Amino acid sequence: MSFIVKDRNFYKVLFSITLPIAAQNFITFTVSLADSLMLGKVGEVALSGANLANQLFFILMIITFGVTSAAMVFASQYWGKDDVFSMKRVITIMLRLAMVISLVASAMAICIPETVMSWYSKDAEVIEAGASYLRIIGWAYPFYSITNAMASVLRSAHIVKISIVIYLTSLIVNVSLNWVLIFGNFGAPELGIKGAAIATAVARLSEFIILIIYLSFFEKKIHYTLKDFFVPVRDYLGAFFKTGAPVVLNEAVWSIGTSVLSMIIGHISTEFVSANSIANIIWQCVWVVVSGMGNATSVVIGNAIGRGENRGIILNKAKTIVLLSAVMGVISAFLLIIIRGPVINFYEVSEATKALAYDLIVSYAIIIVFQSMSVQYVVGIFRGGGDTKTAMLVDVLFLWTVAIPLGAITGLVLGWAPPFVYLMLRSDELFKNVLSFIRLRSGKWIRDITVSPASEN
């Protein structure tokens, strides 16, 4: 395999970014795990209600990720060019968009929670529980969007450790308040699912406060300030939306599609929802490193293009990353099978739900091998390379034309067993890899998309 990169610095940079992001992802996963385990002790209605209520947050998270990813395409290449002035303008565009999107999501959660829940479940108890969760957590959406977007784009300048501080603090706040408010410890009222929502909302606020403190007193590379938020960015809007719009549209359409998958699961049975919630938590446990490498790949590829590296070298870096991700996918599949039993047994749910979650993990293990490679193609290589239109096509085409129709037919019409329905719901991953491999070999995804219409005097 002559394409494998021999430069040790390449691996040093790749994993110096990957591992802190993976640590951040693991902390976030731990919060989800704690929420899931504690709500599982309250009952399946609370667990399902919170899970389905968080589908709105999932859409917000993915669209915010799209805006952030669009900004990172530019920020990574600008950092490679040492153009901090332009990088700050792109950050401003990103933060303004993230704020608008989060306010729309907040309005939906606070004003029409029952309507939102009815999209995902026909169970009246689940709808009522989820609506009570949404009314509280909706207030925290803007704090999440700003914090997540800014912490993510800082990675373009290899600033990654602050994310660990932010999310570790959030973990401590969230889990502690969950224990107090869900179960009524230390004399607090026993609030159940509402307690989980309050704990998460307070944790989001703590994340935001830490970010502001860090930017104000400790960040030394970019020096982004409140003043920068209000500067004119007109000269950058055209290029940002030309390259960034496909990323945002990609994440919006993909998140809606994934939400439709949850709707299909929700209309099959409440047991399927609960089992899938448990299986998804186990999946997140092993997904953190692969996901972290996807984000690191975007930075590494973007920086390389910004520095003007040889196209052949950049192509070999991309191929090496795909090979690494395939190996990681196989390892992740084995880990899923190994840890499924102990984790599932933590949950106080019915034996039928446990058995279903146990079988679902096999389907997750099969799919994760393909997911491990596709995330590198879409999030890392094509976006980092500036080829955002291909990334969008690869990510959403087969989801809507293959996965959703097959999942609906097998689950709602033919009544297949949930593990097989899940395989159909994620069957797009196989096709994504085939199309991505063809595009990767062409090298046409390597593009310098930066503009420098202005500079500081």
What is the C-alpha separation between 229 and 215, in angstroms, rounded?
13
**Is 218 within a domain?**
yes
What is the C-alpha separation between 156 and 162, in angstroms, rounded?
13
**Is 291 within a domain?**
yes
* Residue 455 reports pLDDT greater than 50: no
* Residue 131 reports pLDDT greater than 60: yes
Residue-level pLDDT at 204 = 93
pLDDT > 70: what percent of the chain?
98
Residue-level pLDDT at 423 = 95
What is the C-alpha separation between 167 and 404, in angstroms, rounded?
33
Q: 457 falls in which pLDDT band (50, 70, 90)? A: very low
Domain range enclosing 293: 8-442
Number of structural domains the chain divides into: 1
**Is 184 within a domain?**
yes
Residue-level pLDDT at 273 = 86
Identify residue 158 by its one-letter amino acid code.
H
**Is 447 within a domain?**
no
Across residues 336-342, what is the average pLDDT? 92
Residue-level pLDDT at 453 = 61
* Residue 35 reports pLDDT greater than 80: no
* Residue 29 reports pLDDT greater than 80: no
**Is 31 within a domain?**
yes
Q: What mean pLDDT value characterizes the chain?
A: 90
Q: Are 77 and 450 within 8 A, CB to CB?
A: yes
* Residue 42 reports pLDDT greater than 90: no
Q: What is the distance of C-alpha 278 from the center of its chain?
A: 18
Q: How many residues does the chain have?
A: 457
**Is 395 within a domain?**
yes
Residue-level pLDDT at 66 = 84
Least confident of 2-6, 39-43, 105-109, 216-220: 39-43
Across residues 147-167, what is the average pLDDT? 91
Highest-confidence segment of 38-47, 213-222, 253-262: 213-222
**Is 230 within a domain?**
yes
What is the C-alpha separation between 109 and 105, in angstroms, rounded?
6
What is the C-alpha separation between 397 and 386, in angstroms, rounded?
19
Tens digit of each residue's pLDDT (9 = 90 or more) over 171-225: 999 999 999 999 999 888 889 889 999 999 999 999 999 999 999 999 989 999 9
Residue 100: partners with Cβ closer than 8 Å, 6 or more residues away: none
Q: 456 falls in which pLDDT band (50, 70, 90)? A: very low
Q: pLDDT: is 237 or 25 the higher one?
A: 237
Q: pLDDT: is 214 or 46 the higher one?
A: 214
Residue-level pLDDT at 395 = 92
CA quadruple 56, 60, 62, 65: dihedral, nearest 10: -160
Q: List, as one string, the DSSP characters of 40-55.
A: HHH-HHHHHHHHHHHH
* Residue 149 reports pLDDT greater than 50: yes
Burial of 156 from C-beta contacts in 10 A (0-12 / 13-18 / 19+): buried
Residue-level pLDDT at 311 = 92
Residue-level pLDDT at 452 = 66
Q: Are 406 and 377 within 8 A, CB to CB?
A: no
Q: Identify which of 47, 43, 56 has the alpha carbon closest to the alpha carbon of residue 274.
A: 47
* Residue 454 reports pLDDT greater than 60: no
Residue-level pLDDT at 212 = 95
What is the C-alpha separation between 375 and 379, in angstroms, rounded?
5
**Is 457 within a domain?**
no
pTM metric for this prediction: 0.80
